[in-house]
Amino acid sequence: MISPYRRALPLVGALALLAGCGGGDTDPSSQASGTAPADSEIAASEAASGAPLAAADDAPLATPAPASPAAPISCSADVGEAAAARLAEQCRAVSPATRPPCNAANSCAMIRNEIARGCAILGEDAAKTPQCKIEPISREAAADLVSRFYAAINARDYAAAWSLWGPYGNPEQTLDEFAKGYANTRRTHVEIGKVSGVEGGAGSLYVTVPVTIDAELDNGRRQRFTGSYDLRQINRGMGISQGWHIMSAKLKPA
């Protein structure tokens, strides 16, 4: 069974890992998106003592994040107009939203998050839907969520990453706090290990995704973290699931 330990903090600057904990016990009723730590703040968890983890090289914390983070990178700018248009079309085919975020002007992470959400809402019908290439309750879908979380961070779409923590984003951090935690992170790369088997209990499904994260700060410093993400989603038999969301993150400097 997944550990009840749910607090996690984002890694800021030199990385005081400060990412908030995951969402509540219900899946989001509106679009969510997201991806990983920043300012080399890779959504990491606190140490057993309760104190935030320090940077791997014990360097001082980075300078405070700017008040206004840079705008997200559009999907068109990220992968090209043709590829972005195809992704947006795939999104519109499965999104239940009346004004879906399936627009090439949004980040690719936001669009992919909406595809995952729409396919999860389709439930068993997702298997018959060409646009749903991943079974929503699978281990592959869990790994995909973690990949999308970090893709959103790299695209500077912090709202998309923050929303992947649950129905109302990260319950222990506002969106602004979450975004500032990644202000000094230039790029992140996540390697996903062997995902655990999907477990069920009390109307929910749980899975653990092991990760190794490499982060590069604006000053050129590189940091590495290892650990795991615990994910949850509603069991189809208990209601309408909107896919996996992050319940907790446990990361430490490697």
b/e code 60-99 from CB counts within 10 Å (16+ = b): eebeebeeeeeebbbbbebeeeeebeebbebbbebbeeee
Give the integer Cα–Cα distance in Å for 207 and 253. Answer: 22
Judged on CB neighbours under 10 Å (0-12, 13-18, 19+), 171 is middle
pLDDT(1) > 60 = no
Asked whether residue 135 is domain-assigned, the answer is yes
- Domain-embedded: residue 54: no
- What confidence score (pLDDT) does residue 69 get? 54
Q: Is residue 202, in this structure, part of any structural domain at all?
A: yes
Contacts of 22 (CB under 8 A, 6+ apart): 6, 8, 165, 166, 170, 171, 230, 231, 232, 245, 246, 247, 248, 249
Asked if 154 contacts 160 with a C-beta cutoff of 8 angstroms, the reply is no
Assign residue 153 the CATH number of its domain.
3.10.450
Residue 5 lies in a domain: no
pLDDT tens for each residue of 104-156: 999 999 999 999 999 999 998 999 999 999 999 999 999 999 999 999 999 99
Give 30 or 191, the one with higher predicted confidence.
191
Range of the structural domain that residue 99 is part of: 22-35+69-175+186-253
* Separation CA 87–CA 102 (nearest Å): 8
Average pLDDT of the residues in 215-226: 96
| Residue 55 included in any domain | no
In this predicted structure, the answer to whether residue 42 has a pLDDT above a threshold of 50 is no
Number of domains in the chain: 1
In a domain, 97, yes or no: yes
Q: Does some domain include residue 140?
A: yes
pLDDT tens per residue, range 62-104: 333 444 457 899 999 999 999 999 999 999 999 998 888 999 9
83 is a domain residue: yes
Q: What is the DSSP string of 193-237?
A: --PPPPEEETTEEEEEEEEEEEEEETTS-EEEEEEEEEEEEE-GG
